[in-house]
Every structure is written in C-alpha cells, then in structure tokens.
Structure 1
C-alpha cells in the first residue's frame, strides 16, 4: 500500500483509514484531493503497478470518501453507499482471484506442461485420409445422451430488466446554477438548492459546488447553529 504524506499524518493509506474508523483522527482534517494527487504522481513514476495495490487503493479511497460524505452531510442515509462499496470490494476480490488464476495458466503455457490426447487410427493417419476416428467405446446412444444434456443445460433467454439512465450533473453545472440564482437574489439558504435535487449524488455535487465557490471567494456562507441550515450570500 502506498505511503502518503498530509498534514498530521504520514504513512500507509490503510493505516490512515484504521485511525479514522477508530475515531483517533478527524476525517475533516484529511484532504482526499491531496491523497488522490499523490497516488497519481506515484502511478506516473512507477513502471509497473500491482493490480492488488490498485484494487486495495480503490477500496480504501472509496471508504474514506463515504466517511467524509457522512461527516459533511450527516442527514443523508448512507446505507446504499455502504452496500455499493461492499459490492466494489467483492468485485475487486474476484478480479484479483482471476488475475492469480491467469498467472497460473500463463506459467503452465510458458513451461509447455500441458497435453491433449485422443485415440487415433495410426493406419488412417499414415495414409493421410480425411476420416473421423472416434473413440472405440463411443456409440450413437452415448452421443445422443451428451447432446440431450447439452441442450437441457442451456438456460432459457431471460428478459433484460429495463433500466432508466440517471441524469448526471457536474460540479461545473451546479456552480453555474448557483451563480444564476445569485443574480436574482443576493442571498438564500442552501436547502433551496436541495429542493430541486433528484438524487443523493446531486446533493453531494451541490455541496462540493458551494465549497468551490467559497474557495474562489465568490460567495460567503454562514451557519448559525451546528448542523443548521447554511446561508449563501454573494461576496
């Protein structure tokens, strides 16, 4: 696992996750952007990256993102997100198992330790005749039974469940939307933005857009009480 260096922490990324889950370190003090930047730099300077390391990083990064989202937006229900991360872990585990199996097959192919044999009629082969030479014990009944089993094992066609494509909104789109709202009104509550949100993803994107506007010094945000509504005002 890659070592990272941020404020108040230096070491393996999985250790950082353990400290945060044990509440020995505050997730609010962790910059996920800096962690991502360091991993990208690590990829650039490393010739070969182990698939195991990459899979482990994705799992840890996903859990850190979930924890930070819950801390920033505590009123969101994160049950679905936790299930999605668990599914990601299972998929990455399966991916690593396939990689290990592929390495084993590649090793055998490289050593040429494989052989496929069949009964054959030496006389016919020497005469170079195009003739089907089945095993001596094979009968028409055997072949009929094999075909029946094959046909019986074919799964019937299943109707694919219809899925609706979810509209995805970017941070840039949400920033533009907030700026347009500020043209008509000098200040308004953050909940006014959330009234039109159609998904949890859009709520998170709205929050990140607000943070970006604060960073650019385009808006001033105040909050009178902990977990209370936030008021956005044009700077």
Structure 2
C-alpha cells in the first residue's frame, strides 16, 4: 500500500496532465509538500526518501529561479533533469514489472481454465477492473474531507478513536456484500478524527491483505471488497 516518492511524483504528473520532460517544478513541489503534510496528519510515518525528494525539489526550484548569466557560453543542463532521469528509469522498471505480472496471470489462468469451471469469470474480473494507488485513495479521502469540513486543517487525535475497532467495523460492513463504496465508509463518521481513523483502518486492512480496492474503470468510483475467506 505505502508507495515511494517517485510514485507520488508520477501520480502528480498524471493528475496534472504534465509532460514528464517539462515539469513545472514550483507547482509540483507545492503539491508534493501538501501530500507530505497529509501523510503526517494521518499519522503515517514519512520515510527519509520522501524528505530527500522534497529537499531535491526545493533545490531544483531555487536553481530554476536563478537568473542566467550573460557571459555563460556553455549550455547549462536543465536542473529538472535531476528528477526527470530517475523518473524515466522508474517508469520503465514499473512498466516491465507490470508486463511480467500480467504474463504470470495469463500463464496461471490458462492452466486454471481446464480444471476450474469459474476460471473464466475470474479472468474477466481482472480485465475489467483498474488498480487504485495509495495516492488515488488519498485524493478520494481529501475530496470527502473537503465536502464535510471545507477549509479545516487535518489533525488526528489518536486517543479519540481506535483504528483497530474501525478495522473491525469495516469488515463487518463488508460481510455478505460483494463490494462497498469508498465514499460510504465515512457516511456515519461524526468528526475529523473519526474519519482519519477510518481511513487509516482501510490502509491497514489493505496492507494486511484482508481487502482490496478497485475501480470498474480508470477514474470511476472506488470500491472495496474482502479478500480473505471467513473462517
């Protein structure tokens, strides 16, 4: 569930519809720092890699603001290449990993079809659903919070709500249901702290492999369903 700083940058590039070779550093830096603030508000430990990337972005931003010297004859490399190169390399690695994973699923399902009558349905479900990243979940959560509490700064009081109890509540809510809409998780919540505890409970359940989140199509409603069979 918990993805790294390069994943966050790629997410920001995607939602802003930005050309990776022409990144508006000031805008991306501001949005990146907002996400770090949200991670801290959610009481999620921010790894050192995230802070290093934040420092790198601010350094590049400051270099972009420096005036060009008229006497400079040599062409100076675009400071943004410091993040563009690793982003391009990471994108290639991620695409290769997805390709290998899809081949593994195809290989597995070819051999399942001959012995399992419901194998075809499982393949169709994999094809017709889209994965949801941590940052897409955070975007969805921010939208819910802005509707309920516009202009409020997020602060989490851990002693007020038990994340473990919220995990139990979510699993009870999913019992006997094919899926549950993400937005409906917060319909009965009465405070900011309770909403944050609910969101943290969702992340823990995903991390433990108890539930998965998905979309019927990219950009569609986020849904969740259980993965583990009940005892």
TM-score range, shorter chain: 0.3 to 0.5
Q: Which has the larger radius of gyration?
A: 1
Give TM-score scaled by structure 1 length.
Answer: 0.36
